[in-house]
Structure 1
Amino acid sequence: MSGLLARHRAVLPDWLALYYRQPIELVRGEGRHVWDADGTRYLDFFGGILTTMTAHALPEVTRAVVEQAGRLLHSSTLYLDRPMVELAERVAVLSGIPDARVFFTTSGTEANDTALLLATAYRRSPQVLAMRNGYHGRSFSTVGVTGNRAWSPTDLSPLRTLYVHGGVRTRGPYAHLSDVEFTAACVADLEDLLGQVSGSVAALIAEPVQGVGGFTSPPDGLYAAFREVLDRHGILWISDEVQTGWGRTGDHFWGWQAHGANGPPDLLTFAKGIGNGMSIGGVVARAEVMNCLDAHSISTFGGSPVTMAAGLANLGHLLDHDLPGNARRVGGLLIERLRAAASRVPAVREVRGRGLMIGVELVRPGTDEADPDATSRVLEAAREGGLLIGKGGGHATSVLRIAPPLSLTVAEAQEGAAILEAALHAR
């Protein structure tokens, strides 16, 4: 055991997960690569859990952080903050939500927690709809709407949560149906559930693509169909864009847009990629919902001048260089390469995803039984080959999660795919 690992275990919680049999310490990054403390270079296909959105050590972000830190590090929301106002203006427009208001937090967990507070206060109801297999954070309220057993450490909650079908297309009772039939069955399930509920329901919270759940998603249009039901009941729709936002899926800037003839959600949450590693999260909602709280509130660290300066620089780079378009083009090549490689590996049940958000699900060959041990072995083999990836999934941890920075090049995509193919055969 390394000295740092021993010190980690002596002072940090047992439940704080570490990857790899011999955990690595990352000390430097540049572009799509990182280096560990021993000097080994890795191609990074996970980006700090989908957080390094543009590139490691992006000069524009580094420069913005240094310049702002040299002027003023912190003030809190009790004072006017020009970078916060400027970033809020950009996010409000990009969200598509009319008369939008933006509240900044320090993480996706806190953003979802805030969205739940707003929705339940606005609707004056503690009842919330959530998706089976979904994940929304580690706080007391967000664990209470997480439908993934592996990430639910307690069944205590301030909310009454009702779970509906739809987030997982290829498993469950509706998996055998066509996309149209699948959507109709999920809508019927939602209608039936609401028919059994006593009292009003505040909101549906849903990830357009389930992140921790293994990059699963419903057919396009499901949430538009859900929205018709929700609107009849006055129920708000919270789109959790913590992992899908900012163009990661390639086809759209937000994940909800794949479902979207009925317009934007009532509330949209975001985090991760916007800060490119700085701690930024937030909620966008129309003014009527955002302003429903009738008590004082501030944020000590949400909207920090330094993180807002980083977010502005990072968002500017993303848009100026059309990185969502790059995610679509390079991600399309990567997923096709991985599907071709997986076709020769009996343990691969499915390669799924869109843009640079790709999942490879592993099972025991000849069955649909999840194989988390094989997933861990592939994760190790990929690292040994110089590639860092993630893992997740709702049916045990049996999905390899691939989510490189959106500036990934074609050559790097091909290199990563080759390493992963070798790791799959070596498992």
Structure 2
Amino acid sequence: MTGLHERHLAVSPDWLALYYRRPLELTHGEGRHVRDADGNRYLDFFGGILTTMTAHALPEVTKAVAEQAARMIHSSTLYLNRPMVELAERVATLSGIPDARVFFTTSGTEANDTALLLATAYRRSNQVLAMRNSYHGRSFSAVSITGNHAWSPTSLSPLQTLYVHGGVRSRGPYAELSDTRFIKACVADLEDLLGHTREAAALIAEPIQGVGGFTSPPDGLFAAFREVLDRHGILWISDEVQTGWGRTGDHFWGWQAHGEHGPPDILTFAKGIGNGMSIGGVVARAEVMNCLDSNSISTFGGSPVTMAAGLANLSYLLEHDLQGNARRVGGLLIERLRAIGARSSCVREVRGRGLMIGIELVKPGTDEAHPEAAAAVLEAAREGGLLLGKGGGHSTSVLRIAPPLSLTVAEAEEGAAILADALHAAV
């Protein structure tokens, strides 16, 4: 155990998880690679939990941060803030929400908290619909709408949460149905649920479940849900903390795979927009955003430095068509991984879209989750020079792959080769 690891254990909560038997201290990053304190170099396929969206140490972002920090680091929302207004204008336009208003926070958890506050105040109801297997953050209210019990440490809640089926396509009672019948069954489940409850405030859903193992429903499910929600006046909150900014390749936002009836009422975002800086936020149409009748500010949300980083990062992403790169390179990578998975008795499924890919591991010959194998592959990949993530359902049996969106074809091939070796060595 290293000295830093011992110091970490002495002052940190027991529940603050670290990856690897010998935890890494990452000290440098450049492009799609990072280095640890011992000088080892790794290809980064997790990006600080889907947060390093464009590249490590992107010159355009570091320059914007340094220049803004030299002028002013902090002011709060009590004063006009040019970078905040400029980024809000761009996010409002990109969101697709008409007459949009934008409120910046410091994290995705806080963004989802704010969305819940808006929805419950607007609808005068504390009842919220959420998806089974979901994850929306670590705060008191966010864990109360989290359908993945491994990430929900308390049953106490300020909200009454009801869970809807549909976030996981290949497991559960509807897994054997066709996509069309799967959607119909999930809609019937929603209709039945609403027939036995008070009027709910909102449905909050990740278009692709992140911590849940990069699971997703068939395209169009949330559009079908929207027809039901609209009849009841229930708001739709799309949690885009992990799916936003073009990561899925096919779309800029995850909701657009379900967008036949237009954008969500509320959209939350975070992670990638800051490329490592602490930015989260909420977009909602003015009627919903302005429903609060009390004072509010944000001390750190929309800080000039983080907003400058977000502007530079977003500009780079759009100017270099990183969404298109995620579609092209991600498509190649997922096909490579499926070919690798077909040769392993432990790989149940390789799923995802763009540069958001999950590899679900099971015990050979069964459908039983295999978290021990996932942990072993994580270690073997690290030894080979590749960093991955983990997640999935109620056990961490899914390898999560989400590199920076500037990943090259050569790096995708390199990562797939390391992962193939790690699967062979570990399982």
Whether TM-score is above 0.5 comes out as: yes
> 1:370, 1:395 within 8 Å by CA — same for their partners in 2?
no
Q: Give the secondary structure class of the aligned counterpart of 1:260.
A: helix
Q: Mapping of 1:217-256 within 5 angstroms? A: 217-256=216-255
What's the TM-score once normalised by structure 2's chain length? 1.00
Question: For residue 392 of structure 2, what is the aligned residue in structure 1?
Answer: 393
AA aligned opposite 2:17: A
1:25 aligns with 2:55: no
Question: For residue 64 of structure 1, what is the aligned residue in structure 2?
Answer: 64
> 2:149, 2:394 within 8 Å by CA — same for their partners in 1?
no
Question: For residue 108 of structure 2, what is the aligned residue in structure 1?
Answer: 108
Q: Give the secondary structure class of the aligned counterpart of 1:154.
A: coil
> 1:130, 1:161 within 8 Å by CA — same for their partners in 2?
yes
Question: For residue 288 of structure 1, what is the aligned residue in structure 2?
Answer: 287
Whole-Å separation in 2 of the counterparts to 1:342 and 1:204: 35
Shift of 1:200: 1.5
> 1:126, 1:159 within 8 Å by CA — same for their partners in 2?
yes
Q: Mapping of 1:40-189 within 5 angstroms? A: 40-189=40-189
Cα-to-partner distance string for 1:142-186 (whole Å, 9 max, x where unaligned) = 000000011010010000000000000000000010000000000
> Alignment RMSD, CA only?
0.3
Q: Give the secondary structure class of the aligned counterpart of 2:422.
A: helix
Whole-Å separation in 1 of the counterparts to 2:223 and 2:284: 18
Whole-Å separation in 2 of the counterparts to 1:367 and 1:120: 43
Cα-to-partner distance string for 1:311-342 (whole Å, 9 max, x where unaligned) = 00000000000000000000000000000011
Q: Give the secondary structure class of the aligned counterpart of 2:349.
A: strand
Q: Give the secondary structure class of the aligned counterpart of 2:261.
A: coil
Q: Mapping of 1:180-219 within 5 angstroms? A: 180-197=180-197, 199-219=198-218
> 1:47, 1:404 within 8 Å by CA — same for their partners in 2?
yes
Number of matched residues? 426
Whole-Å separation in 2 of the counterparts to 1:338 and 1:346: 14
Cα-to-partner distance string for 1:8-59 (whole Å, 9 max, x where unaligned) = 0000111000000000100000000000000000000000000000000000
Shift of 1:419: 0.2
Which ranges of structure 1 fall in alignment gaps of 5 or more residues? none
> 1:112, 1:142 within 8 Å by CA — same for their partners in 2?
yes
AA aligned opposite 2:349: E
Shift of 1:395: 3.7
Shift of 1:390: 0.1
Question: For residue 425 of structure 2, what is the aligned residue in structure 1?
Answer: 426
Question: For residue 369 of structure 1, what is the aligned residue in structure 2?
Answer: 368
What's the TM-score once normalised by structure 1's chain length? 1.00
Question: For residue 34 of structure 1, what is the aligned residue in structure 2?
Answer: 34
Whole-Å separation in 1 of the counterparts to 2:256 and 2:79: 35
Q: Give the secondary structure class of the aligned counterpart of 1:196.
A: coil
| Runs of 4+ residues over 4 Å off in structure 1 | none
Which ranges of structure 2 fall in alignment gaps of 5 or more residues? none
| % identical aligned pairs | 84
Cα-to-partner distance string for 1:334-353 (whole Å, 9 max, x where unaligned) = 00000001100010000000
Cα-to-partner distance string for 1:277-336 (whole Å, 9 max, x where unaligned) = 000000000000000000000000000000000000000000000000000000000000
AA aligned opposite 1:400: L
AA aligned opposite 1:217: S
Whole-Å separation in 2 of the counterparts to 1:115 and 1:93: 19
AA aligned opposite 1:165: H
> 2:120, 2:201 within 8 Å by CA — same for their partners in 1?
yes
